[in-house]
Amino acid sequence: MAVELEDLIRKGGVFDKVEGTSSDQVYKEIVNLMSFSESISKDEIYEALCAREKIMSTAVGNGIALPHCRIPIIKDMSDQRIAIVYLKEPLAMNAPDGIPVNTMFVILAQNQSDHIQMLSALAGLLKENEFKKLLAGHAGEAEILNAVKEFAQNK
């Protein structure tokens, strides 16, 4: 599968001012905001995100976290998605650089191979200064999708 970030983000959504004073609270809010097919249990996604966070922080630095399930629980490729989440208040998540998280990319993949491809595509995107500016300004879904599409075309 060639990872199509634009499609994955469109499925996952872009959410602003998500509240929570802990990663567990934020994940509960995110899972409730996201849309899933009937075959997916929101409780199972929530539990898997929390379990992964307990093993080691998903904060990667520069105010970014990449929450994901340690063991893929998405059964169908069409249910894969990435949600972009702007937090209402920065959250201390033991990031390597000590900077509290203000933006999350919640990655829900069907298998490890797709997960790695999603991470790789996001890493490339996060190197782009224009994209980082969009995140800092809490850009909406249309702006994010346009930037992702432009990045994919210029690769």
Residues 109-123 have a mean pLDDT of: 92
Do residues 57 and 95 lie in contact, with contact meaning Cβ atoms separated by under 8 Å?
Answer: yes
Sequence-distant (6+) residues with CB within 8 A of 94 are 57, 59
Confidence band, pLDDT 50/70/90 cuts, at residue 22: very high
What spatial distance separates the first Cα and last Cα of the chain, rounded to whole Å?
17
Interatomic CA distance for residues 110 and 50, integer angstroms: 18
Do residues 131 and 149 lie in contact, with contact meaning Cβ atoms separated by under 8 Å?
Answer: no
Residue 152's pLDDT is: 85
According to DSSP, residue 15 is labeled: E
Residue 37's pLDDT is: 87
pTM for the model: 0.94
Q: Is the predicted pLDDT of residue 38 greater than 50, yes or no? A: yes
Residues 117-127 have a mean pLDDT of: 92
User: Among residues of the chain, what percentage have pLDDT more than 90?
Assistant: 84
Residue 2's pLDDT is: 54
Closest CA to 30 of 81, 106, 98: 106
Q: Is the predicted pLDDT of residue 1 greater than 50, yes or no? A: no
Q: Is the predicted pLDDT of residue 60 greater than 70, yes or no? A: yes
Q: Which residue has the higher pLDDT, 2 or 48?
A: 48
In the beta sheet, which residues pair with residue 83?
Answer: 106
